[in-house]
Chains A and B, each alone.
Chain A
């Protein structure tokens, strides 16, 4: 029993709120294995994995921003429209003013920042609920997209397409793999091991109990195994394809934002505001600034997602961004965020997004039509959140958590409250 307890407590981060995240990772693995069998091995084939990342990177990028918005207790319905609006402006800027594409990307991010400042202003300083502000934004920027583009499809130049459909370059000796992807995998593996050693050192220096040795090793072995597997898969695609550029952008963002939300004061303030905004304000959190920041940040990420989609589609069209907000919100909630705010992690949202992505992809590979795919995705979203809500109302967090109840009696603090999470920094972002 104590070994199981150790495993549960330590394998993927410490607190009980992580039990749910653990459950989601488990679900993801189960879905991948299920489809791997059902599609005769197509799911984990390198070309499919590459396509899966390319197709979903923009939704996952949105999920990062959406997680922060939802944790702060808001919602953003405008992301699809903002993405489309930024996309058409960027496409136009390159077609009509012949901006070089790197400048156009900066221009797109600036548009995102301006739109975000607009929405953040209404939410934070005027106090209009984010639901209303972004509902208005959804109409406003969708209309803007149609107005500017005349509802036409506008192609973008080759260089720009790289951010959506490009791959790591080929170089070096012919190893039968893409060398750049192998190096990336190696770097990731080294980082995981180094992090684990650092974490143990820190805990020892703080006189805390480090996780049992065998757990550390097991965790590292699993992570390195997954990384090695993924790196080899991504490196062995058709010549010319490898780990997608959009995947790199996603990875960088996941790592940066995970660090920000977990390890910095600014990031913890978002949780504090979402948990109890009055209390947070009284303890010195600048409420308005936090709200302004999360809304603005969301629009910048939406602009980025829009540009990546345009790059991948080789053109900006009038239907870009339709329904994206729903995919992003679904990813965040499946990933364990609370509807009332204050709870949720970046890595959880990414896992939630991947669950939806793999489900979508697997069903498509099986030739299930979009009508049924939508039905299934809807049910999965409802079930995932329902199980969570039900378990909470029963005073336990998950089936695994319920097994642990006898050992939790001394946990007097509410399990997932921000200060608790801060005291005990979670140790591993599993999917980041």
Chain B
């Protein structure tokens, strides 16, 4: 027993020493987090980009633009999408992996605006700057910048286009409309909806526009996860419950994916096509607009948004303060975030050719 004990102590301590030796010594300290002094960072640093699941063409396009744009600017790019089903957990893991790899700037298109604060805090503590792309990240004081299209304006444009479109088809009201809004966990969904209601509410109050189903609350109109099948199912139900013998004049849809799902539902029910709004200028929707089905979409040129974001990264690299144009309106619950807002453009059949003239993918569709 004695001998066993002696040998084992030797063996065990040898193993421990070995592990110790392989470990280097102690903590790295905080040599990395000195980035606050606005010194910038190396021109070939790693830039992480974490985007939501590939549920819309827009995110796929944004990913490609980031990959190429960052490479052109001399950075190393790590562009990641969340998985289709385990979105939030995936994105948390991806942001952490980018932090581990020493990314200097992490650009995040959040899947769930409120569930990333731990990861953003860790990234910030490791010396990375965090930019929220398109969707504001809430409940964190560690977010540095926000870059997005003016989403309230998007909603207003949608509301206005809906009114204009219905007036063009039928000069006098009252008009029957239905309202759809985006995923409740996406901070933008409410902003779009409020923007649109900002225009529609006065007309609804006047009785000129009627939400025939009575479902006006954002909780009733929301489509979880921006899922097309969710919108189609809701539209199917609205058509059976409310539009048996009424005419549907217009549908407020927050984006193109939902707009097409709504149109599919209406066509399936054999009803005349109402005025349907959209957003994102997806290829199928632009075709649909040119063919006279979907009424409008919003052109938020992803190219410009990505370009602006990369400009921010470049400014941070040089140690400058990135350009922002709104330091007041975007409070994420912990602080007011410095924001760069880009203006959106409403597109209908009338101005499609002009609006997409610079877009290599969409321009041919409008001819």
Q: A residues bordering B, Cβ < 8 Å?
A: 42, 45, 47-48, 51, 55, 146, 150-155, 161, 164-165, 175-177, 189, 193, 196-197, 200, 213, 216-218, 220-222, 224-226, 228-229, 232-233, 236-240, 309, 312-315, 317-320, 322-324, 327, 360-361, 364-365, 367, 369-371, 373-374
CB of B99 within 8 Å of the partner chain? yes
User: Nearest-CB distance from A40 to chain B (Å)?
Assistant: 10
Q: By the criterion CB–CB under 8 Å, are B184 and A151 in contact?
A: yes
Q: By the criterion CB–CB under 8 Å, are B114 and A317 in contact?
A: yes
CB of B311 within 8 Å of the partner chain? no
Stretch of B14-22, B233-241, B293-301, B338-346 with 4 or more beta carbons under 8 angstroms from chain A:
B14-22
CB-CB under 8 A for A47 and B100, given A224-B12, A312-B118: yes
Which of B11, B101, B126 meets A238, CB within 8 Å?
B126
The 21 sampled A-B contact pairs (Cβ below 8 Å) are A47-B99, A151-B222, A153-B113, A189-B16, A218-B11, A220-B12, A228-B16, A229-B19, A232-B20, A238-B125, A313-B115, A314-B139, A319-B185, A322-B87, A324-B86, A327-B86, A364-B80, A364-B97, A370-B94, A371-B54, A371-B83
Stretch of B24-32, B153-161, B257-265 with 4 or more beta carbons under 8 angstroms from chain A:
B24-32
Per-residue CB contact flags for chain B residues 299-332 toward chain A (1 = under 8 Å, else 0) read: 0000000000000000000000000000000000
Interface residues of B in 26-49 (CB under 8 A from A): 26-30
Q: By the criterion CB–CB under 8 Å, are A176 and B25 in contact?
A: yes
Q: By the criterion CB–CB under 8 Å, are B15 and A225 in contact?
A: yes
Q: By the criterion CB–CB under 8 Å, are B25 and A323 in contact?
A: no
Number of interface residues of B (CB under 8 A): 64
In the complex formed, the residue of B with least CB distance to A232 is B23
Which of B14, B101, B185 meets A365, CB within 8 Å?
B101
Residues in B with CB closer than 8 Å to A364 are 80, 93-94, 97
Q: By the criterion CB–CB under 8 Å, are B26 and A193 in contact?
A: no
Q: By the criterion CB–CB under 8 Å, are B112 and A317 in contact?
A: yes
How distant is the Cα of A218 from the Cα of B88 in the complex, in angstroms?
Answer: 43
Q: B residues bordering A, Cβ < 8 Å?
A: 4-5, 7-8, 11-12, 14-16, 18-20, 22-30, 53-54, 78, 80-90, 92-94, 96-97, 99-101, 111-118, 122, 125-126, 139-140, 183-185, 219, 222, 224-225, 333
Q: By the criterion CB–CB under 8 Å, are A319 and B87 in contact?
A: yes
Residues in A with CB closer than 8 Å to B115 are 153, 313-315, 317
Residues in A with CB closer than 8 Å to B222 are 151
Which of B8, B29, B86 meets A323, CB within 8 Å?
B86
User: Nearest-CB distance from B105 to chain A (Å)?
Assistant: 16
How distant is the Cα of A153 from the Cα of B4 in the complex, in angstroms?
Answer: 58
Q: By the criterion CB–CB under 8 Å, are B26 and A151 in contact?
A: no
Q: By the criterion CB–CB under 8 Å, are B224 and A146 in contact?
A: yes
Q: By the criterion CB–CB under 8 Å, are A371 and B88 in contact?
A: no
In the complex formed, the residue of B with least CB distance to A368 is B80
Which of B11, B96, B111, B225 meets A217, CB within 8 Å?
B11
Looking at A42, A229, A320, the one whose CB has the most chain B CB atoms below 10 A away is: A229
